[in-house]
Amino acid sequence: MSRTNVGFIGLGNIGQPMAKNLVNDAFDAWMYDVSEKALAELVALGARASTPAEIARNCPLIGICVRDDKDVDSLFYGDAGMLAHAAKDTVIAIHSTVTQAGLARWAQDGAARGVHVIDAPITRGNGGMEPRFVCFLVGGEPEIVARARPLLDPSAENIIHAGPLGAGMALKLCNNLITNVEYLAVSEAWALAERCGLKIEVLRELGKANNVINDRMYAFLSGRNTVAAMGDTALMDQHFGTFGRLAEKDLDAALESARDHGIELPGTRYARAVINAVYTKKPY
């Protein structure tokens, strides 16, 4: 049976398990990451170590799961960039949480070369476990989204086709806005509960009764507070500061989108100002 070439770039916490799902009998999986260690783990499973240019030349379906707009720019442009080497009708799915302006630019520049860019950012599903653990939030023309399904299906618990290009990213920005404002609210509720002499187990019991505090929030706050009690600032930055900086990036993107659409999000603006302190349990 002939196998389809698929490419995947970005083997981080979410990208790596997604990439592993592409190493199977249906695909010849071409992989790239700046981390040689992360790449070696996929090669050991049967993937092919490659470069962005090689992936673009050889793979009609490509997923990108990197940190931000700057990372995507570094992959797309230049003599060794993907757009300089991609074959006509290549489909590139952007799984990263990026700005809508960046997405529109990559799609426009791709279209000029006959390359189709769709947005397919990700969030973990509702309790799903690997291998099908991702909810994809997709934006793009139905025909192109259908062509991308073989890239998405191996990891998909759910696929929400939100609308045309940019709709998936807009939905992801809304999702991350909700998540981060919830973390802020639960963090402050936890602090208030402690000062009022309540046992945290009671707050947890409330969360189980009405789902106002889900398991993920509780695990986050418990872990954060445990590390804070250790007084190890380096460990706190390693485990929670990184997520705080990602939250800042995502809230910046939401605020940029709001500005572009002529609306104000004052609560989000406040959350952006304090969210890193929330993640790292610092005063604000």
Residue 177 CA to residue 272 CA, distance in Å, equals: 9
Residue 107 CA to residue 61 CA, distance in Å, equals: 15
190 shares a domain with 143: no
pLDDT band at 132 (very low <50, low <70, confident <90, very high): confident
Of 14, 12, 257, 239, whose CA–CA distance to 122 is shortest? 14
Give the residue carrying structure tokens 């389809």. 4
87 shares a domain with 124: yes
Amino acid at 253: A
CATH code at 67?
Answer: 3.40.50.720
Is the pLDDT at 128 greater than 70, yes or no?
no
156 shares a domain with 21: yes
**pLDDT of amino acid 89:** 98
Residue 168 CA to residue 151 CA, distance in Å, equals: 16
Total of domains in the chain: 2
Last residue of a domain, one of 145, 163, 181: 163
177 neighbors 251 (Cβ within 8 angstroms): yes
136 shares a domain with 93: yes
CATH code at 252?
Answer: 1.10.1040.10
Give the residue carrying structure tokens 């990208």. 15
Last residue of a domain, one of 146, 163, 180: 163
177 shares a domain with 158: no
244 shares a domain with 197: yes
Helix/strand/coil percent split, the chain, to 5:
55, 15, 30
260 shares a domain with 228: yes
194 shares a domain with 158: no
Last residue of a domain, one of 104, 135, 163: 163
Which domain range does residue 97 map to?
4-163
193 shares a domain with 177: yes
Count Cα neighbours of 173 within 13 Å in the Cβ-side half-sphere: 24
pTM score: 0.93
- Give pLDDT tens digits for 196-241: 999 989 999 998 899 999 888 899 999 999 999 999 999 999 999 9
146 shares a domain with 54: yes
182 shares a domain with 259: yes
22 shares a domain with 140: yes
- Give pLDDT tens digits for 156-198: 999 999 999 999 999 999 999 999 999 999 999 999 999 999 9
Concatenated DSSP letters of 85-145: TPPTT-EEEE-S---HHHHHHHHHHHHTTT-EEEE--EEE-SS--TTS-EEEEEES-HHHH
